[in-house]
Structure 1
């Protein structure tokens, strides 16, 4: 298992400088943003897919630093009711597929998206309860008329270009946000739909990462290493659904933390051990969003935690008791 990072954490640096910075910390691979919310600071697909000299220079920076790409990310909302925004999101996702094809990997990472509540809606509508009955009607429209048809079409395009693993991050605010909704879309669309497993969103919703890992098994295509700390006092007062600013840390029910600052090393050891037990042995890709730490210190803390917890060697297969 390798240690990776979402490269947009150093989107302020040119591509080669960012890779050199990551390599100096012992990071082995990067998830590269191709558009959407992560931006495209390190991967302008309009250039790299059409200018072979530019792509060769981009690829050489990877080769020179010994870093590889673990996936191309395009986290956005391709089913947004704003047609212009949806089209931009869809383009970023298709660019990610084409970049994966060009680079030679078979996976991308993204969100499922969330439609509005009817064809003429202005904003997405994330439904979180079954009653009043209007919500059930909204879900029926979102899933059967928008979400499933979109993803069937997108998977067809992805497969035509060699991408067979589309890792959806289970993120509140989007239709796929927990185990059940991930598996529901996978069943409706096909095994190309899987998970970009991010424990931080699992934790604050009250799910147990290990339980989810064992349920998803080979549907886990990529993993983010990001932690969450639950504030028990604030949660007892207001619950976990929290719309306060991420900068208002002392009053929030939970905040994102660097790995090891939300939960202890044993917690992360269990996550990594269970990932290996279900057959995932690729990368722990650090996503730094700890608002209590600087960029550099937060990344250092997360890397140190991952260096202590990732299992690097092959499984023991020749012991006499196996």
Structure 2
């Protein structure tokens, strides 16, 4: 809701969705940053304090900052990530949602001879050294797994998780659905390393899928939680998260081109409130 000031969004949530008490705010990268002027907040102690008070005085908790982007290949995204980590430390926010970054042509499969060698070289020279440094940042960096990034599924992110306990997964099932990955199986495999979770659905066009496959973006779209799978599936999602040791926030992510933001957030929050146990819903 970039057209509204942060206070306006929080006041809307308090009236329309009183069960929601935690917020995740974008700070840059691909994430919209309409409600967080990262550079000004870093530079001004008083402004930063007032910004946090505007959230907490309304009985909301700042659960995470989101700076999903491509820090390996875009210098401005690298700067946004590092500044967001610094800002999180100053604000007392324990989690930063991000992406591993990478080169899309080296993500998602080796189609031509030599590509597998290029992938391994890129991981050795760029991916692992970069995240080995940031693994000791002092905040929990939670990777969103999406093709195009170096870490896009369970096996690829496990290579990063080996670098240390400062790295975790942001479990967003929407990216798994269109890859034919079972999100519940992924949760079980990643038990103990899930640091955050998103609630977003995916709707597949079966006619388009039949002729163009899942790699073609026109065969599927992101959707409001509940539009692709009903409350029973989201209940299973919550139960698997609990069994995997995660009892934190499930954050509603808006990315539905067919539903306005307010309606999408409200509908998703209602589905999740009904489907998930109180200790999981935020």
The two structures have a TM-score, normalised by structure 2, of 0.94
Q: Name the structure 2 match of 1:266.
A: 232
Q: Name the structure 2 match of 1:166.
A: 141
Q: Distance in 2 between matches of 1:152 and 1:190?
A: 8
Structure 1 unaligned runs (5+)?
1-9, 81-85, 116-123, 244-251, 315-322
Distance 1:261 1:143, change over 3 A: same
The question of 1:281 aligning with 2:250 is answered: no
The question of 1:129 aligning with 2:109 is answered: yes
| 1:313 positional shift | 4.4
| 1:150 positional shift | 0.9
Q: Name the structure 1 match of 2:165.
A: 191
1:31-74: CA deviations, max 9, x gaps? 11111111322111211122122112211211221111111111
Q: Secondary structure in 2 aligned to 1:185?
A: helix
**Counterpart contact for 2:106–2:118, Cα < 8 Å:** no
Q: Distance in 1 between matches of 2:166 and 2:180?
A: 27
Distance 1:288 1:313, change over 3 A: closer
**Counterpart contact for 1:169–1:195, Cα < 8 Å:** yes
1:235-285: CA deviations, max 9, x gaps? 122211113xxxxxxxx3211111111111111110001101111111110
1:193-218: CA deviations, max 9, x gaps? 21111000011100111100000011
Structure 2 unaligned runs (5+)?
none
The question of 1:99 aligning with 2:99 is answered: no
Q: 1:19 aligns with which of 3, 10, 14?
A: 10
Q: Name the structure 2 match of 1:175.
A: 150
Q: Secondary structure in 1 aligned to 2:215?
A: coil
Q: Secondary structure in 2 aligned to 1:125?
A: helix
The question of 1:238 aligning with 2:238 is answered: no
Q: Secondary structure in 2 aligned to 1:218?
A: coil
**Counterpart contact for 2:21–2:60, Cα < 8 Å:** yes
| 1:180 positional shift | 0.5
**Counterpart contact for 1:256–1:262, Cα < 8 Å:** no
Q: Distance in 2 between matches of 1:87 and 1:15?
A: 27
Greater CA deviation, 95-104 or 202-211? 95-104
**Counterpart contact for 1:72–1:99, Cα < 8 Å:** no
The question of 1:218 aligning with 2:192 is answered: yes
Q: Name the structure 2 match of 1:54.
A: 47
CA-atom RMSD, angstroms? Answer: 1.5
Q: Name the structure 2 match of 1:77.
A: 70
Q: Distance in 2 between matches of 1:221 and 1:181?
A: 17
Distance 1:313 1:89, change over 3 A: closer
**Counterpart contact for 2:106–2:115, Cα < 8 Å:** no
Q: Distance in 2 between matches of 1:127 and 1:178?
A: 10
Q: Secondary structure in 2 aligned to 1:151?
A: helix
**Counterpart contact for 2:55–2:61, Cα < 8 Å:** yes
| 1:230 positional shift | 1.9
Q: Name the structure 2 match of 1:35.
A: 28
The structure with the largest alpha-carbon Rg is 1
| 1:131 positional shift | 4.3
Q: Distance in 2 between matches of 1:101 and 1:71?
A: 11
The two structures have a TM-score, normalised by structure 1, of 0.82
Show structure 1 runs of 4+ deviating over 4 A.
none
1:95-124: CA deviations, max 9, x gaps? 211121112132211000004xxxxxxxx5
Q: Secondary structure in 2 aligned to 1:77?
A: coil
Q: How many residues align?
A: 278
